[in-house]
Every structure is written in C-alpha cells, then in structure tokens.
Homo-oligomer: A and B are copies of this chain.
Amino acid sequence: MRLSTRAQYAVRAMVDLSLHSEGRPVSLKDIALREDIPLNYLEQLFNRLRRGAIVESVRGPGGGYLLARESSAIRVGEIVATVEEPLTPVSCMDKGKGRCTRTAACTTHNVWEMLGERIRTFLDSITLEDLVIEARGRGGEE
C-alpha cells in the first residue's frame, strides 16, 4: 500500500511551482534543483500533468510551466490520479473481469472498493492552495 514516488514527486513539484511562480512560468530545471528530483523524470510527470490540464507549458527561453487553474481549484487527488493512473486498490475493478463469482472474492471486493473511495475522497478534499498556505506558514528558510 505504497504511493509511488511519481505521485510524491508530482505533488511536491506542484507545491514548489506554486510557491515560486508569480504569474510567470517556472522551469523544470529550477524545480528539479530545489526539490532534488531527476530532471528527465520530472519532464515525464509534467507531460502527464499538462495532458491532464493541471498545468500549462510555455516553450522557449524564459519558458516553463504555469498552473492551468487557480491553486484552490486543483485537488491533490487530481494530481495523484493524473500521474499514477489508477487510484483503485485492486486491479479487477478496472476492466470487469467477471471472476467475482468465486466464493469469498466478491465480499472482499466491496471492502477494496470502499477503501478506494475513502482514499479518493480524502485526497480530493485537499487543494493545492491548502498545501501552499501551509508551506508558506512553515517559514522562510531556504
């Protein structure tokens, strides 16, 4: 029951981006340096975030990434789901394999389904803005 570092990186990077952008694009190089995340890896993540309409890109010198919306309209669950694909605890819920006819399987599925719902609900209850405010409050070291 581990969250991939992909997801952790993505959320951290989004917080960092919010903290350091003042209407102007922030380059991945800067984020990578500050957050100690491999640049090429970050690029992949931000590709997904862009396709997920969470960030927008500006190419060329002085370019970088911008939030596609206000930070109060971006939920953590969205970020995680976008880079992590399935936010469901078990796989058989994605396709409909029908194998749920076996003995105890169907009963336990309900549990995993509810668990997934709890996880999504919780992560969706937190916005990027919440994290930025908390990070700012944490003080000005660095």
Contact = CB atoms under 8 A, between A and B. Distances in A.
A28 to B, nearest CB: 15
B131 A123 contact: no
Interface string A69-111: 0000000100010001011111100000000011111111011
A45 interface: no
Contacts of A13: 104
Interface residues of A, number: 48
Given A15-B108, A142-B103, A84 B134 contact: no
A43 interface: no
Given A104-B19, A122-B118, A142-B103, A111 B11 contact: yes
B108 A115 contact: no
Sort A-B residue pairs by CB-CB distance and give the 3 closest, nearest first: A15-B104, A3-B89, A107-B135
